[in-house]
């Protein structure tokens, strides 16, 4: 590693509350008064997002999140009222997460993959004790769009376990507001609908690197035909290295990082609140990445 001391400091900063609590938190805390009829919101969406971010980063239940936030407000000497746990639960449903603007408009390489996240459920000892029918384990499927150059998650989408990767792609791409020059994914995205979706969203010249199956035959897509020919002539491993498909290991590492840092499950129970939880987790991981990344140099 070429930047050991800087990277170690970035890891320390991830647990520093001053990194997560900005100086202007008080100014953006209270919701402005509305001039129309109806109830008056007491807290801004940013205040709710702020509390839920601390909850995700430090893996706290909602009540402990309220207590944790109260202690922070007290230590900072702020005259703020902290949302109670029921308000956090209610406002978290369908919360609009503030997006961070990218500093560069350069086209990126987009790597896409998915993983399963466990849902809260019952415990086996209760089933054994009372003789109840065993519950079928339920999962949510997290789809991620990753930029290998910056290490950022540029898009995420949460679905039920039975929704396929190819089916989710249009919704995932709808959350990505940057131009993509190269798309990379596994064989689950091998289909003409994926090509059409990418061309409609970005540009006809987009490079699509998706491994075709072993029994693939030529079709209308010229890029796919070239991949089939290259694999037949040089073998799949050499094709992966030459085409750049080996970059896919970076999103697999990112998924492993998600499960180590955020956890391999979802704390909330409702699908709407779980979606917000996943969006907040993506934003929190990007914040950690912005603090510093490890850089490596080849040693000969």
- Which of these ranges, 141-150, 233-242, 258-267, 291-300, has the smallest mean pLDDT? 291-300
Confidence band for 248, pLDDT divided at 50, 70 and 90 = very high
Tell me: pLDDT of 123 over 80: no
Q: pLDDT digit string (tens) for 124-166?
A: 545 555 565 555 567 899 999 999 999 999 999 999 988 999 9
Domains located in the chain, CATH noted: 1-98+269-300 (no CATH), 108-266 (3.30.420)
Give the Å distances, CA to CA, from 159 to 142, 176, 178, 200: 7, 17, 23, 23
pLDDT, position 21: 79
Conformation bin of residue 178: beta by default, left when phi > 0, alpha when psi is -120 to 50:
beta
Q: What is the model's pTM?
A: 0.88
pLDDT, position 136: 58
DSSP code at position 43: B
How far, in Å, CA of 21 to CA of 228, rounded?
52
Closest CA to 270 of 119, 71, 62, 109: 119
Q: Name the helix (H) or strand (E) containing 118.
A: strand 108-118
Q: Which of the two residues, 137 and 234, has the higher pLDDT score? A: 234
């Amino acid at each position: 590693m070429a930047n050991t001391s800087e990277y170690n400091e970035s890891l320390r900063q991830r647990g520093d509350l001053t990194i997560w609590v900005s100086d202007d938190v008080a100014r953006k805390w209270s919701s402005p008064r509305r001039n129309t009829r109806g109830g008056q919101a007491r807290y801004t969406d940013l205040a709710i997002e702020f509390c839920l971010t601390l909850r995700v980063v430090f893996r706290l239940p909602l009540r402990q999140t309220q207590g944790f936030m109260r202690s922070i407000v007290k230590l900072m000497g702020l005259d703020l009222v902290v949302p109670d746990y029921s308000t956090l639960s209610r406002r978290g449903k369908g919360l609009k997460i503030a997006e961070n603007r990218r500093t560069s408009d350069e086209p990126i390489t987009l790597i896409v993959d998915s993983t399963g996240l466990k849902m809260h459920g019952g415990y086996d000892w209760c089933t054994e004790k009372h003789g109840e029918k065993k519950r079928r384990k339920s999962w949510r499927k997290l789809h991620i769009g990753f930029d290998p150059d910056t290490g950022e998650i540029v898009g995420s989408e949460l679905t039920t376990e039975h929704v396929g990767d190819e089916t989710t792609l249009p919704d995932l791409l709808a959350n990505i507001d940057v131009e993509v020059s190269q798309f990379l994914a596994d064989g689950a995205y091998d289909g003409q609908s994926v090509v059409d979706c990418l061309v409609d969203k970005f540009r006809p010249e987009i490079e699509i690197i998706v491994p075709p199956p072993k029994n693939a035959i030529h079709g209308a897509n010229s890029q796919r035909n070239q991949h089939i020919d290259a694999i037949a002539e040089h073998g799949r491993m050499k094709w992966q290295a030459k085409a750049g498909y080996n970059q896919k290991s970076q999103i697999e590492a990112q998924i492993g990082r998600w499960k180590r840092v955020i956890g391999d499950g979802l704390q909330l129970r409702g699908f709407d609140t779980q979606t917000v939880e996943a969006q907040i987790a993506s934003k929190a991981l990007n914040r950690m990445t912005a603090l510093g990344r490890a850089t490596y140099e080849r040693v000969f």
